[in-house]
A and B are shown apart, each in its own frame.
Chain A
Amino acid sequence: SQKIEQNSEALNIQEGKTATLTCNYTNYSPAYLQWYRQDPGRGPVFLLLIRENEKEKRKERLKVTFDTTLKQSLFHITASQPADSATYLCALRMDSSYKLIFGSGTRLLVRP
């Protein structure tokens, strides 16, 4: 069956450390993978998109990798800050499709 898996347990880290979140998928062949941030009571906010032929994408303190062999994306936040505390969602998109298929998200807590 098709699955997108994100760690359901919260990731608790110290301010200043690098946070690494994982998105694994099964029986999908996504052309694009997106990461969103969601704060309590708010809608998701787009952060980064990476294509299947890209290994890595960076934006400020954020870095995303996409390994189509492992069927995995890693999302890194360097020099993490308490303001980075939120739930992070990964979403897959197949080529020529308008549908985003979301994981259930991982909650990140950054301690001051």
Chain B
Amino acid sequence: GAGVSQSPSNKVTEKGKDVELRCDPISGHTALYWYRQSLGQGLEFLIYFQGNSAPDKSGLPSDRFSAERTGGSVSTLTIQRTQQEDSAVYLCASSPGAYSNQPQHFGDGTRLSIL
């Protein structure tokens, strides 16, 4: 299909390891968002990319978190020196642009478990 694709779907790793999560947005969508969803909680905004503009990193919880978006398409969220509190579902979404009346299209997320 032509939806948002995330990989891996599940990731289990030991505390202190680095992890990389990947997001392939819908082709042509210029806006890309990363969210974190803890069990029973709403979505917590992490970072936003729009075209070639500087990303909005205001939601990243610590400097262990970083993200990049190469060529305006695929994005990678990296968590360094993982902690148990990083365990959550990480969701990626894309939209055609940044306009307020456009819905976001979500992938099914990466479920991250830190042992």
Contact = CB atoms under 8 A, between A and B. Distances in A.
Given A32-B100, A93-B100, A99-B48, A44 B41 contact: no
Nearest to B48: A98
Interface string B85-108: 000000101000010110111111
B105 A46 contact: yes
A44 B42 contact: no
Contacts of A79: none
B42 A43 contact: no
Given A45-B106, A104-B42, A51 B98 contact: no
A27 interface: no
B93 A43 contact: yes
B106 A44 contact: yes
Given A104-B42, A105-B42, A97 B100 contact: yes
A89 B31 contact: no
B75 interface: no
Nearest to B103: A46
A107 to B, nearest CB: 9
Nearest to B91: A43
A70 to B, nearest CB: 21
Nearest to A103: B42
Given A89-B42, A104-B40, A43 B107 contact: yes
Given A4-B42, A91-B43, 16 more contacts: A43-B109, A44-B104, A44-B106, A46-B103, A46-B104, A46-B105, A89-B43, A97-B100, A98-B48, A99-B48, A99-B56, A100-B45, A102-B42, A104-B40, A104-B41, A105-B42
Interface of A: 4, 8, 31-32, 34, 41-46, 49, 51, 89, 91, 93-105
